[in-house]
Structure 1
Amino acid sequence: MKVVDKQKYNMAIYEAKREVHVQIHGFIKADLVEDYMRDLEATVAKVQKSTYTFVVDATYQSPVPSKVSSELGQTLMFYASLGFKDIYIVNPASKIAYVQVRNALEGVHFPGTVVDNVSQLAMR
């Protein structure tokens, strides 16, 4: 069930699979961060996080400016701090964005799992 459907991001709750999905389109500029965070908080408040898996689908994420790429690790760790049972990051299709996410993950102790595409989630 799609909960939020905006131009730069979508958020959905899949009760049968016990998953919350966030899908990023392009990248979220500073002027949208407040709306994104508000929507994220409202979405995750609808589920019992300790029994749900959180999926950040970055397939359609664009490369981010170098100023922002240095903050990607902090963003990924914020997702990890939300209290979900499991967390998955789906790598961006863009090679540049992929490298940015990979580099961000190398700089932090991310407790989740990184997959290359959404289809891998079904195989777990």
Structure 2
Amino acid sequence: MTNSYKIEVDASRKLFVAAVGGSFQISDAGGLAMAFLMEGSKIQSQTSEYTFVADLSELENVEPSLLDMLEQAFKMYSSIGFKKLYVIESKSAATRQQIREAAEKMNFGGEFVSNMNEIA
């Protein structure tokens, strides 16, 4: 695996956090999706009470072949019914631009922030 990812539910703060770091490749997508579904099932009836956070601060690179998949992920996050959506931007300027472009293509309604402290 070329990256690390972690999906967790913080019930006390009502946060659903998907953290992805490293260089994301197609071989990583299946594991991430499975982890997302497993953790998501824990809050399925309470999704509207939770804030979704995509922590991409440690994401170094997204292969160009995965940009369509990234757009689909943004669509999925938007359609699930979370209370709010946040993306913690990558420290990499190139990756930050890739993510913003993917979000713009599908009119992502979330907010981009620099770190977890900016999440309301």
TM-score class, shorter-chain normalisation, is: 0.7 to 0.9
Distance 1:11 1:72 in 2: 16
Residue number in structure 1 paired with 2:109: 111
Aligned to 2:27: 31
Matches of 1:31 and 1:67 in 2, distance apart? Answer: 12
Q: Aligned letter for 2:11?
A: E
CA distance in 1, matches of 2:69, 2:31: 18
Out of 6, 12, 19, which is 1:16 matched to? Answer: 12
Identity %: 24
TM-score (norm 2): 0.86
Aligned mates of 2:72, 2:63 — CA distance in 1 = 15
Which of structure 1's runs of 4+ aligned residues deviate more than 4 A? none
- Give, in angstroms, the shift of residue 70 of structure 1: 4.2
**What amino acid is the match of 2:24?**
I
Q: Which of the two has greater helix per residue?
A: 2
Q: Give structure 2 stretches of 5+ with no counterpart.
A: none
Could you report, residue by residue, the CA deviation over 1:4-39 in whole angstroms, capped at 9, with x for unpaired residues? Answer: xxx610112111111111100113322222221111
Q: Equivalents in 2 of 1:50, 1:19: separation in Å?
A: 11
Give the number of aligned pairs: 116
- Name the residue aligned to 1:4: none
Cα RMSD for the two superposed structures: 1.6
Equivalent residue number for residue 60 of structure 1: 58
The 8 Å contact of residues 58 and 91 in structure 2, kept in 1 or not, is answered as yes
